[in-house]
Amino acid sequence: MQITKHFLSVDLVVFGLDKQDDLRILLVKRALQPYKDEWALPGGFVRDGENLEQAARRELMEETGVRDLFLEQLYTFSTLERDPRGQVITVAYYGLVNLKQHPLQAATDAADAQWITLGAWSQLAFDHQKIIDVALQRLNSKLRYQPIGFELLPPKFTLTALQNLYESILGQNLNRRNFRSKILKMGILIQVERQKDVAHRPAFLYRFDRERYKKLTEKGFEFAISVPKDKKNEA
């Protein structure tokens, strides 16, 4: 029986929001073949002695300078023709960061690293468009029942910024009054202070209370953001 040699890699879909609350994805321009000078997801081969998450965090730090972020395993991609170098099985992760807190610095086999607006590219290397599509589906779904969206925001944020985040990712308008009432009744936000040095009426700033959320979940609390089923329910 012939034994086929397999290679194991990791790829990362890292999401961030820009100042206009548009969703961006962290991409690198490959410095090496295959797909030299083409945009791709950060990632690379797993080294001996590493587990998958360790490899993912190392590759992300080496190629982009980004570290200390929320990461979660996404899916395993094993299509035979996905990599011209041979049979490469990749385990994909998705991550969420606040752009201001994670400056980029391309290194190792990345010629460049940029936050690129969702879909603002002509093509990607390997099967990375497919990986992004799966990550978007996961993000859209999980955002509704877990408070992972706070990872994309600064430590202090307005309710408007929080709603814009949900609308940007879910692709739907949410009723302003209903959204604010729902999120405040959960009891997981702490009102901190009012905005300073703004041209408009200063809004209150809030922060996510992780300890409060953890205690509530231990008591059976379920985080849930409802999405309108039709335009009649939209703001």
- What does the pLDDT average to over 34-42? 95
Quick one: pLDDT at residue 124?
A: 96
Look at residue 62 and tell me whether its pLDDT is greater than 50.
yes
Angle at 206 between CA 204 and CA 211, to 5 degrees: 160
Angle at 197 between CA 96 and CA 16, to 5 degrees: 10
Quick one: pLDDT at residue 198?
A: 76
Q: pLDDT, tens digit, for every residue of 178-219?
A: 999 999 999 999 999 998 877 788 899 999 999 999 999 999
Domain with CATH 3.90.79.10 in the chain: 7-142
Grade residue 101 by pLDDT with cuts at 50, 70 and 90: confident
State which fold the 7-142 domain adopts: Nucleoside Triphosphate Pyrophosphohydrolase (3.90.79)
- What does the pLDDT average to over 92-118? 87
Task: Kindly report whether the global pTM for this prediction surpasses the value 0.95.
Answer: no
Look at residue 17 and tell me whether its pLDDT is greater than 90.
no
Pick from 21-25, 58-62, 112-116, 190-194: least confident = 21-25
Domain with CATH 1.10.10.10 in the chain: 148-233
Quick one: pLDDT at residue 234?
A: 43
CATH architecture assignment, domain 148-233: Orthogonal Bundle (1.10)
Question: What's the length of the chain?
Answer: 235
CB 152 within 8 A of CB 15: yes
Grade residue 232 by pLDDT with cuts at 50, 70 and 90: very low
Quick one: pLDDT at residue 109?
A: 73
